[in-house]
Amino acid sequence: MENLNLRGLATGLGSFPFTDPDPALDLVFKYCPQIPFWPQLPKRDNREGMVEQFIQGFPCLRVTGDGIYFEPKNQEDELEKFYSEIIAHNLRYFKIGPDFSAGLYEFLERLEKVDLKNTPFLKGQITGPFTTAASIKDEKGVALLHNPVFMQVIIKGLAMKALWQVKSLEKYAKKIIIFIDEPYLGCFGSAYTPLNREDVIRGLSEVSEAIKSDNVLVGVHCCGNTDWSMLASIPSIDIINFDAFAFQDKFLLYASDLGQFLKRGGAICWGIVPTQEFSGEETPQLLYKKIQEGIKGLAKKGVDEELAWENLLLAPACGLGSLDPLKAEKILRLLSETSALIR
């Protein structure tokens, strides 16, 4: 990755506790002006739920008021239609409709009106294939994680949803960042999780390779603890985003892999502002000190300290969708103040 002057830039993960995109976007442009992102509004409509939002147009999957259900009746025909659109690279077919994302459409309108002179990046996001597949059950009640046909549908379809976003953002002539949100990877390694390392690497490689280009950086977000060496080993992943408030010690165990990741041009996004644990007592100085300790910890294990600072982004530890609006604003303000302190 060329020198992008990331040092301490702030961005966010997507979800907000509003039903109207405008107050969410006001906060985005006020507190994350260098890497603004479109807001996801799960409280507005269940179609804006983390998984529902990105599966419109996928074969046999229906979004209703109660969630997602699997309808295999016309499976062959629907799969054929889906793959014909993939082969034709028909991004319009894979658009995220306005009913599924009021925040995205309002974001695109806002980009027409704001001064983007000091905005080097624009950010979009998709929910990752493993989190998506683990959340949807087939007609027998088995998660699609166990269904190789639909696992492939989800991987291919999500990549197209990301590419449609890229296409929508290209006209602003900014570097684009797409995050793949994979909270489910926090379960990796548990006896109850049917994931193995090779599956994760293969699935995330396929999605990220499809999205990545000279103008697009790909990040992976996991707000739990996972095997970070998996993500560090995928060449098409540029940014690793972790919950630095809760899991910094665990993250540092992977210093050797993270050092290699940084050396090849990767960046680390420190989810430094707590979300669920946010008390209001936290200060920019406290969070800055925590990051300093983290980077010193990496340096002790042989990671180039300056490289870690130069390729450092900041974000809240997780999405803000389940919080109250006042708390969401306080978190973003603290994020912005911490970013200013580092920069």
Q: Which domains does the chain have, with CATH numbers?
A: 9-342 (3.20.20.210)
Nearest to 218 by CA among 229, 207, 226, 228: 207
3 state DSSP class of 176: strand
Which has more pLDDT, 343 or 88? 88
Q: Which tens digit of pLDDT belongs to each residue from 115-140?
A: 999 999 999 999 999 999 999 999 99
The kind and range of the H/E element at 282 are: none
- Please give the Cα distance from 237 to 178 (Å, whole number): 10
Q: Is the pLDDT of residue 191 over 80?
A: no
Q: Is the distance from CB of 338 to CB of 314 less than 8 angstroms?
A: yes
Instruction: Examine the pLDDT at 240 and tell me if it is beyond 80.
Output: yes
In this prediction, residue 1 has a pLDDT band, given cuts at 50, 70 and 90, of low
Average of pLDDT values for 273-299? 97
State the average pLDDT over residues 52-81.
95
pLDDT digits (tens, 9 = 90+) for 296-330: 999 999 999 999 999 999 999 999 999 999 999 99
- Order of strands, sheet of 9-10, starting from the edge strand that comes earlier in the sequence: 9-10, 312-316, 267-273, 239-242, 216-222, 175-181, 121-127
